[in-house]
Structure 1
C-alpha cells in the first residue's frame, strides 16, 4: 500500500474514482443494469427531474441523456411526465418497478462505498466526508477550479 504522503491529491482522487466506478459496475451487474442506468436511477430516487437538471446531474450531453432515458424507459423503469411548472416540458420519474430497483441499487451502492471507508477511524471519516462534500458542493455551484477545454 502506498503511503499517502507519496501520492498527490489528484492521483488519490483518480484512484478513488476508479474504486467508485468499480462499485457502480458491480452493483449494476447484479441488477442487470449498466453503470449509467444505475446512476440515473440513484439520481431519480429523490423524485422527478427535468431533462436539463438531469443532464447537469449526470454530466451528459443532451443526445446521450436522451438515449439513456429511452433505454431505461423501454425497460419500464422510468416514465416521462409533464412538468407541472411548464406544460411544454417533461420530467423523468421512476415507475413502481423503477422505484423498487432504484432503492435497491442506491442501497447497494451506498453499502459498497461505505465499505471502502470501513477501516477509517471516525474522526478521519468525518474529515474525509467534510472535504468531499465541500469539493462536490463547490463543483455544483461552479466555484471549483475545473479545467477548461483548450481553444
Structure 2
C-alpha cells in the first residue's frame, strides 16, 4: 500500500520511526516532510499529503505533529479525506472499523514510540466493518462531505 506521510518539527523523529515501520511492513511511503526539527508550519506539509490521499495517489496517510489535532484539522478540510486522531490501539481499531478513516494523525508529544508503533500496526491491519449499519453510517458522512466540500480534481 502507498502511504502519504507528513509532519511538523515536533513530529520529525516519530515520523521517521513510523516510516521505517511501514517500510518494514512492505508499504511504500511518500514522505512530504518536514525533514528536520526546525520550526515550521504544519499545513505546508499536511496539505499536499492530504491532497495525495484525496486524489488517489496514496491509499492512506499518516501525519505526525505535536498532538495530532492540527494535522486532523487540516486534513479534514480536503474532500475525501477522513482523518482520525488516535492515542491508543483501541481508538485506531475503531477509527478503521467504524469510520473507514483513510488518514491517521498521531501526536509525538502525547504518545511514545512503542505506542505509536502499536497504533500504526493496528490501524494499518484493521479493515472497515461491512455490516449494513456501519456502511450506512460511513456513507452518511461521505454524503455530508460531498455536499459541503469542493471536489478534488
Quick check: which one's strand share is greater? 2
Computing the radius of gyration over CA atoms, which structure comes out larger, 1 or 2?
A: 1
With normalisation by structure 2, the TM-score equals 0.24
Structure with greater proportional helix content = 1
User: What is the TM-score of this pair, normalised by structure 1?
Assistant: 0.24
